[in-house]
Every structure is written in C-alpha cells, then in structure tokens.
Structure 1
Amino acid sequence: MRKEDWMDSSLKLVSKHGVDILKIDSLCKKLKVTKGSFYHHFKSHKIFIEEILEYWYKTFTMDIIEKSKQFENNPLKQMELLNNTIYSKDLNIEIEFRAWGLRNELVLPYMEKIDKERILILRNIQDKLNPNLDEKINEEMTLLIYCKFLGTLFIQPRLSSTRNKELDDFLLNLVLSSK
C-alpha cells in the first residue's frame, strides 16, 4: 500500500465509520493490512493524524482553490466551479473532521487553516462580483456564504447536492442584486 492509498482509504473509512476508525488497530483490520504496513509509512499515530489532516486540507481545500483560479477573471464561473467541485466531494468527511475538531486540539488548527483559506477565496470572488460595495458589506456577504455552506452540512435530513446548489444560486443572486 502506498502512502497516498493509506490517505485515500482512511478518508473513505472516516466517511463511512467516523473518526474513531483512525485508530491503528481499526484501520489495519478494515484495510486488511498489518501494523508493519502502517509503521512503514508513519512513525506514530500522531504523525499519521497530522498527515491525514494535511492531506485532507490539500485535497478538499487547496486543490479546489487552485483549480478555481483558472477562472480568476470570471468570478461567476469561479464560484460555479467551486460549488460544483465541493458538492462532488464526500462531505461526510468534512462533517466528521469538523465535529472532531471541536474536541481535539490537534485537529482544531487544521479547521482554522481551512476556514481561513476558504474565506479568503470567497472574499476575493465577492470583491470581484461587487467591487463598488462597502468593504464591510463584502466581508459580511463572504461570511454569510461560508456559513451557509457549513450550516447546511448539519441540517437533518441531509440536503441533497442539488438542493445545496439551488440554495447557492439563490444566495448568489442575492449577492449580485446587492450591487
């Protein structure tokens, strides 16, 4: 098993079983591998946790932001790409890690780093969509957009990706009409 396979498989297991599956014994049992395979790639459980959080940060935040930059000059297209990419991801992982971050001091800094990057790209888009709006209003709109994303993750029963996209379109129309 390659290191990246460990990361991808572990994220899939988190989605299905929650973060408690990230214990070495549980992982090895589910993946049908030995502890030696685990320790071949990770010196300790703590290092594994840090690396999986970093991998999640990269694949669920930074890679998406980077991909969206191809449309920097078209903020509507950039926002559309962000939304489509985000809702194509397994958001159960986001929910599990966020809940974990509330009770684990190792996870919390990753949540803060992720939120900072996501808010920054949304603010950049908001400023392009509404360049003539007061800075404070653009800041508030940015936070509202991001809070909508986070909040809808926790609504039960879960909203479908289609319903989330409809809400995003509605919110985007509100943003555009505030010019």
Structure 2
Amino acid sequence: MSVRERWLEKGLDVLAREGHRAVTIDRLCNELSLTKGSFYHHFSGVADFEAAMLEHFSYRETQRYVELAEAGAGDAPQQRIKRLQAAVVRGGAGSASLEVAVRGWATQDAVARTALEEIDRRRLDYLESVLQDMTSSKSEARAVARMIYLVLIGGYHHLPPMPMREISRLWDRILATLES
C-alpha cells in the first residue's frame, strides 16, 4: 500500500470510528507515525485530503463491489447480483460503520453531500441495470433496486446495526419478488 493510500485508509478508519471531526492532520500523523510534510507532499491541504478520502471511499465501497460482481464476464444477472450480495456481506460491520459516518458527514458538509449523492446514484444505477436484465419492467427493476438499497442503508443505521446475515436474508426476499 502506498503512503498516500495509508493516509486515505487511516482517514476512513478514524472517520468510521469517531466521525468527521476526529479526522485531523495531527491525529493522522500521530496514528501513522508520519509527518505533516508527508501529508502535504500527498495533499495540498485538508480540502484536497477530504476530496481524496471521499473518492477513495467511492472506489472501496462502490466501484470495487461492481468489479467483483462483474468478474465473470458474460454471467447471468442472477450470478452477478449474488456475487455483489456476497461481497457486500463480506464487507460487514466495517463497511456499515464507515457508511454511517460518511452519511453523517454529508449532513454537515456540502462537498461530502455532493459526493455521496453521486455514490448513491452510481450504486442504484448499477443495481437497476443488473435487475433490468432479470425482469422486463424497468420500473420494477428500479423499485427492487431501491428496496435492496434502502434495506442495506437502513440496516446499517438501525441501532444496534442489523447483522449482515439478516440484511442478506431480506435482500433474498426482495429478489424473490422478481421470480414470482
């Protein structure tokens, strides 16, 4: 892992554990045993770091899952959606706490909100595109994509967080509506 990636991963780690206000240069330097010079070598300032952190979150928690789901070129949509589901379940509690933290940050910060709106759009568009291949109705694919996504996000926000196996069971029940 590059030094830049270490900065970003640590930023997301602190964000997930303690929220946006805890993500400070001093805190990150201390936890990584790196200098402010190293920080400013990789980022022009806090705003640049936060933008990079959101981009890294987007890759780690969205694009990476899409890549895993699409790993079997030419596979049936049912196989792609199952690979996506398995990858999300493997992400587990770490992804849940990070997702909640990013959503909390987005309620306070316009840049984070804009980034999260784009992430939500990309996630829903991907789900809908796979589900569209499983049904002849675009509106049904959109509705099922939203239900799956809302169960996932809602399960993360539920206190205590809903276990991933329960979220997965609900996901299966929603998918079963396409088969009936």
SS of match in other structure, 1:159 = coil
Structure 1 Cα separation of the partners of residues 81 and 43 of structure 2? 37
State the partner residue of 2:90: 88
Aligned-CA RMSD value = 1.6
Deviation (angstroms), 1:67: 2.3
Q: In the alignment, does 2:150 pair up with 1:147?
A: yes
Return the match for 1:161 from 159, 164, 169: 164
User: Is the Cα contact below 8 Å between 2:68 and 2:87 reproduced in 1?
Assistant: no
Offset of 1:76 from its aligned partner? 1.4
Report deviation, 1:29. 2.4
Please tell me whether the aligned partners of residues 119 and 146 of structure 1 are also in contact (alpha carbons under 8 angstroms).
yes
- What does residue 38 of structure 1 align with? 39
Q: 1:125 aligns with which of 102, 117, 130?
A: 130
After TM superposition, where is structure 1 displaced by more than 6 Å over at least 4 residues in a row?
none
Name the aligned partner's letter for residue 151 of structure 2.
K
Please list the CA deviations of residues 88-128 of structure 1 after superposition, one character each: whole Å capped at 9, or x if unmatched: 22221111001111110010111111111111111111111
- The answer to whether the aligner puts 1:77 opposite 2:79 as a matched pair is yes
Aligned counterparts of 2:168 and 2:161: Cα–Cα separation in 1: 13
TM-score by length of 1: 0.89
Give TM-score, length-normalised by structure 2. Answer: 0.89
Give aligned pairs, total. 175
Q: Which residue of 2 aligns with 1:14?
A: 15
Q: Secondary structure at the match of 2:59?
A: helix
Does the Cα contact within 8 Å between 1:15 and 1:93 map onto a contact in 2? yes
1:115 to 92, 113, 120: 120
3-state SS in 2 of match to 1:70: coil
Cα distance in 1 for partners of 2:178, 2:152 equals 15
Q: CA deviation at 1:50?
A: 0.4
For residues 122 and 30 of structure 1, the distance between their equivalents in structure 2, rounded to whole angstroms, comes to 37
Q: State the one-letter code of the partner of 2:52.
A: E
- Structure 1 position 31, deviation (Å): 2.4
| Whole-Å separation in 1 of the counterparts to 2:143 and 2:120 | 15
Please name the residue that 2:67 is paired with: 66
- The runs of 5 or more residues in structure 1 that have no matched partner are none
Deviates more, 1:55-64 or 1:44-53: 55-64
Q: Which residue, out of 169, 173, 177, partners 1:174? A: 177
CA contact (8 A) 1:21 1:27 kept: no
Counterpart Cα distance in 1 of 2:165 and 2:140:
28
